[in-house]
Amino acid sequence: MKTPLLYQAYRTLRRGWKRMTPEARHAVEAFVASQRTDHGYMNAGGREDDYYKQFGRVLEAVFSPYRLLGMDISLTVHESRHKDTIYGRFFDFLEAEMHAVRPKDVSFDCPKVMTTNAVCCLLSMQHQTGATASPEWIEWLQQRQDATGGFHATDQAPVPDLLSTAVALFTLRLVGAEARDASDFIHAHWLDNGGFAPTIFDDYSDVEYVFYGILALGAI
């Protein structure tokens, strides 16, 4: 088995973190600290949310690698996780990787609705199982990147977003495919408060989008 995807993502996050200036790191750390609660982290609405705890804990380990030692890496996902969705298969795949078990019943069928995240899930599973990454899916993914350097979630998405951009850049790097430079796009989404905005039209952030911002930086 190849190095588990979660560890590869962590290494990419560390690479992105090291690319930041000391001043930028301080601002990001301060923002993340402002989102911390007694038991976890807040969502964008200011409420404590278990879903955001996983992003906050990983970011803590990115800022201070010693915290990764002994960390119980668990997967907390949205309620949409079902066996009959590509996301359900993908998260099952991640859990199998973390337990050094070869994933079974990995399906590479293209989803009915093509989205950037779904295609990234499929390409990642192909790569990790040693299968040849589908050239047509790689091309489809590359075409989601526009002139700003950002990636659109779907063909119909009016603007590119940071989540899709981070995941796409990480996946293309993983499978050895090219992407245009996205540095300006990423920096345009960095807010004065140290967080990263979901899209260019947003002025709020949370620890999830800080995760995506740093991941994108590490994948360029």
pTM confidence score: 0.87
Residue 211 belongs to some domain of the structure? yes
Tally the domains of the chain.
1
Residue 96 belongs to some domain of the structure? no
Q: What does each C-alpha distance from 49 to 43, 44, 75 come to in angstroms?
A: 6, 10, 14
Distance between CA atoms of 121 and 144, rounded to whole angstroms?
15
Residue 158 belongs to some domain of the structure? yes
Residue 59 belongs to some domain of the structure? yes
Residue 52 belongs to some domain of the structure? yes
Distance between CA atoms of 133 and 157, rounded to whole angstroms?
25
Distance between CA atoms of 155 and 161, rounded to whole angstroms?
13
Distance between CA atoms of 205 and 197, rounded to whole angstroms?
5
- Residue 66 belongs to what domain range? 5-80+133-219
> What radius of gyration do the chain's Cα atoms show?
17
**pLDDT tens-digit profile, the chain (220 residues):** 588 888 899 999 999 999 999 999 999 999 999 999 998 999 988 999 888 998 999 999 999 987 665 555 554 444 444 445 665 666 676 666 656 655 555 556 665 667 999 899 889 989 988 888 899 999 999 999 999 999 999 988 999 999 999 999 999 999 999 999 999 999 999 999 999 999 999 999 999 999 999 999 999 9
Residue 204 belongs to some domain of the structure? yes
